[in-house]
Amino acid sequence: KQRDPDQPEFHQAVEEVLRTLWPFLEENPRYMHAGIIERMVEPERVILFRVPWVDDAGKVHVNRGYRIQMNSAIGPYKGGLRFHPSVNLGVLKFLAFEQVFKNSLTSLPMGGGKGGSDFDPKGKTDNEVMRFCQSFMTELFRHIGHHLDVPAGDIGVGAREIGYMFGQYKRLANEFTSVLTGKGMTYGGSLIRPEATGYGCVYFAEEMLKSVKRRFEGQRVSISGSGNVAQYAAQKVIELGGKVISLSDSGGTLYIEDGMNGEHWHYLMDLKNVRRGRLQEMAEHFALEFLPGQRPWALKCDIALPCATQNELDIDDARTLIKNGCICVAEGANMPSTLDAVDLFIEQGILYAPGKASNAGGVAVSGLEMSQNAMRLLWTDGEVDAKLHSIMQQIHSACVNYGMENGRVNYVKGANIAGFVKVADAMLAQGIV
């Protein structure tokens, strides 16, 4: 905190891990002696660069680009790129730190990284986005590579942005390699990658529910966000017979009292991915209720899936959810719940899954995309989905193994210790580097 006083999100992420990890470290002093924690909280490398670009009117803009190469103990750096005005060094360090544990939990050989820019793709034309992505990659390309660092998408970076960045990388590096994941299906993408984070989050929640003999069927499910993760979480919940009663964006919450149906879902996909419009329009189109400026947590639900952004669910939201009978919270987003909200969920015996466990499906399928690229093969959607499902079940088991506490699973403790052990053991084996 003294070294980087202006990085509250990073401090929050580290505190969440250390609170549950500390007793384990005291029982296993070899990790303390080797300075594992001191090394894990310091990125191996931080790259910060200027991204100049020209808008359609000929005006020059300058954004800031970043790549945090956090930890490469168990594999090449891997983690998304975020384009959002709120991006800064502290936000990306929190995301990169979380990514190290998450990637380890997938059991695939991937280190942790994260990057992005304070560029806002909202309201920009396709040509402006393309010029920005090309300028961003013109600097980033010299720092990444398929054996070194393999970025992917995140908030504000979807199929369009990955395509533009891949094109520019290929041109500059003069080679066609698996340097980005989340690629389109015509140039090396994996089936089920777009669905993976949302589906994976629902698969994880399903495992938690099974442990208390509950199912999605007939449950009221509140989802926040309406981007990539929220869209496919909603689709899987509907498929499992659950009722999706909300979605949200930065304008507010869409309330769907009777639950989302197939027609709503297809409209949403076109609205957000093709027309790039607002949920308010969806409310007007279907005559649904829209709650401007509000988050969905005051709506009565059985299961909550926060899928928008960090710190979007605070202690008051947690109290309201519990009062309204919510029994399960599985995070699709990264660190959407504040620390005190997490404490309350655990104290009250809510089935609570931290993002690093429940949203690991996206990076897991990114890992599978790298494997398919390396083999020059394409697995079927059924094959990838089955592997994703099995990875989410394994992560759930790992959390149960390490997280048992007074007859209940503390998923935060389980995920943190299980994620830590593999990385820490690899760091021990590789010496002080």
- Catalytic positions, please? 114
Go through 323-358 and write b for each residue having 16 or more CB atoms within 10 A of its CB, e for each that does not. Answer: ebebbbbbbbbbbbbbbebbbbbbeeebbbbbbbbb
Answer whether 342's CB lies under 8 Å from 410's CB: no
For residue 426, the tally of other CB atoms under 10 A from its CB is 17
Residues 137-176 touching ligand NDP, rule: CB under 6 A, are: 153-156, 158
According to the annotation, is 102 in a ligand binding site? yes
Residue 211 in contact with ligand NDP, rule: CB under 6 A: no
CB of 117 to ligand NDP, least distance (A): 13
C-alpha to C-alpha distance for 149 and 287, rounded to whole angstroms: 46
Residue 218 burial (C-beta neighbours within 10 Å; 0-12, 13-18, 19+): exposed
Q: Is 180 helix (H, G, I), strand (E, B) or coil?
A: coil
> Which alpha helices (H) appear in 287-380, and where do they start and end?
315-323, 339-347, 355-358, 361-375
CB of 155 to ligand NDP, least distance (A): 4
Residue 30 burial (C-beta neighbours within 10 Å; 0-12, 13-18, 19+): exposed
Interface pick for ligand NDP out of 73, 89, 303, 307 (rule CB under 6 A): 307
According to the annotation, is 272 in a ligand binding site? no
44 φ, ψ (degrees, to nearest 5): -65, -35
Q: Is 238 helix (H, G, I), strand (E, B) or coil?
A: helix
CB of 431 to ligand NDP, least distance (A): 32
C-alpha to C-alpha distance for 164 and 135, rounded to whole angstroms: 10
409 φ, ψ (degrees, to nearest 5): -90, 125
Residue 134 zone, left/alpha/beta (φ > 0; ψ -120 to 50; rest): alpha
According to the annotation, is 99 in a ligand binding site? yes
CB of 222 to ligand NDP, least distance (A): 14
Interface pick for ligand NDP out of 359, 373, 410, 416 (rule CB under 6 A): 359
Residue 251 burial (C-beta neighbours within 10 Å; 0-12, 13-18, 19+): middle
Contact stretch for ligand NDP (CB under 6 A) within 6-14, 129-137, 219-227, 400-408:
219-227
Residue 333 in contact with ligand NDP, rule: CB under 6 A: yes
CB of 78 to ligand NDP, least distance (A): 11
Pick between residue 31 and residue 103 the one whose CB is nearest to ligand NDP. 103
- Total residues contacting ligand NDP by CB under 6 A comes to 23
Q: Distance of CA 361 to CAs 197, 239, 286, 355, Å?
A: 5, 18, 32, 10
Pick between residue 250 and residue 380 the one whose CB is nearest to ligand NDP. 250
DSSP output for 99-136? HHHHHHHTTSS--EEEEEES---TT--HHHHHHHHHHH
Residue 197 in contact with ligand NDP, rule: CB under 6 A: yes
Residues 89-148 touching ligand NDP, rule: CB under 6 A, are: none
Answer whether 4's CB lies under 8 Å from 397's CB: no
CB of 102 to ligand NDP, least distance (A): 8
Furthest-apart CA atoms within the chain: distance in Å: 64
Residue 302 in contact with ligand NDP, rule: CB under 6 A: no
Residues 23-82 touching ligand NDP, rule: CB under 6 A, are: none
Pick between residue 135 and residue 358 the one whose CB is nearest to ligand NDP. 358
Interface pick for ligand NDP out of 334, 337, 338, 372 (rule CB under 6 A): 334
C-alpha to C-alpha distance for 342 and 17, rounded to whole angstroms: 12
Residue 9 in contact with ligand NDP, rule: CB under 6 A: no
Residue 70: enclosing H or E segment and its boundaries?
A: strand 60-71
Interface pick for ligand NDP out of 309, 338, 372, 373 (rule CB under 6 A): 309
Pick between residue 69 and residue 181 the one whose CB is nearest to ligand NDP. 181
Residues 220-279 touching ligand NDP, rule: CB under 6 A, are: 225-230, 249-250
Contact stretch for ligand NDP (CB under 6 A) within 238-246, 258-266, 296-304, 326-334:
326-334
Nearest position to ligand NDP, beta carbon? 227
Interface pick for ligand NDP out of 242, 332, 367, 403 (rule CB under 6 A): 332
CB of 33 to ligand NDP, least distance (A): 34
Binding annotation for NAD(+) = 197, 228
- Residues at the site binding ligand NDP, with contacts judged by CB under 6 A: 86, 153-156, 158, 197, 225-230, 249-250, 307-309, 332-334, 359, 362
Task: Report the binding-site residues for substrate.
Answer: 78, 99, 102, 153, 366
